Amino acid sequence: MDLQRLDSYQGGAGPDFHEHVLYKTILVGDSGVGKTSLLVQFDQGKFIPGSFSATLGIGFTIWDTAGQERFRSVTHAYYRDAQALLLLYDITNKSSFDNIRAWLTEIHEYAQRDVVIMLLGNKADVSSERMIRSEDGEMLAREYGVPFMETSAKTGMNVELAFLAIAKELKYRAGRQANEPSFQIRDYVESQKKRPSCCSFL
């Protein structure tokens, strides 16, 4: 489980006014699903092959606690402060998908009630080893009422879109008036995924 960097977006009351707002976003999922690789792809626009060590520490762009059980007591505390959660599984690893329900149970127990959650099926570039159909991910996401997309930390497919959609949702919530309709993050994600040039670097 990775506690990742505090991401930010710019927004303001007018063209000459910008305010930086920090939101804590946590990438959650079994060890080895590509959480750190996804963040590196988003942050640096590159894929670094090889495995990352499961360490507890803080760096310039990453603050991670890996997916190991020995860090669970630490990460429970981080859930409470998170505004957004990216929940990942590996499309080539059935157990990582089967464990999503357990992760969601933990999220609902420890995270804020209004936390933004997005389900990501990572490693979509390894289609020849696929064990989880895209339809299965979509079905699970609908069951829990969260947006879903498949991503590739290696090619960059949908990585930027995942973070952008969450940022838009959080920004909209911050400036929303009482009588305004809510931002439909699932509709936004689906509309962007249908654009042929969107967020894919294949």
- Domain total for the chain? 1
Tell me which of 17 and 174 has the higher pLDDT: 174
Rounded-to-integer distance, Cα 195 and Cα 76, Å: 37
Query: If phi over 0 gives left and psi between -120 and 50 gives alpha, with beta otherwise, what is residue 165?
Result: alpha
Amino acid 56: pLDDT: 33
**In-domain check, residue 73:** yes
Domain CATH code at residue 162 = 3.40.50.300
Amino acid 200: pLDDT: 44
Q: Give residue for tokens 């997916």.
A: 67
For 174-189, what is each residue's pLDDT tens digit? 776 666 666 677 677 7
Q: In terms of DSSP bridges, do strands 63-64 and 19-28 run parallel, antiparallel, or are they unpaired?
A: unpaired
For 47-67, what is each residue's pLDDT tens digit? 877 655 443 333 333 444 455
Euclidean distance between the first and the last CA atom of the chain, given in angstroms as a whole number = 27
For 22-36, what is each residue's pLDDT tens digit? 778 888 888 889 988
**In-domain check, residue 17:** yes
Q: Mean of the pLDDT values across residues 140-150?
A: 94
Q: Give residue for tokens 């654009």.
A: 195
**In-domain check, residue 198:** no
Say which amino acid occupies 99: N
pLDDT(147) > 70 = yes
**In-domain check, residue 201:** no
**In-domain check, residue 200:** no
Rounded-to-integer distance, Cα 185 and Cα 189, Å: 6
| Structural domain containing residue 39 | 2-193
Token representation of residue 106:
């933990």
Most confident of 2-11, 64-73, 152-161: 152-161
Cα 184–Cα 185–Cα 190 angle in degrees, nearest 5: 105
**In-domain check, residue 62:** yes
Rounded-to-integer distance, Cα 102 and Cα 138, Å: 17
**In-domain check, residue 199:** no
Q: Shortest CA distance to 62 belongs to which of 38, 88, 30?
A: 38
Amino acid 189: pLDDT: 77
Amino acid 49: pLDDT: 72
**In-domain check, residue 202:** no
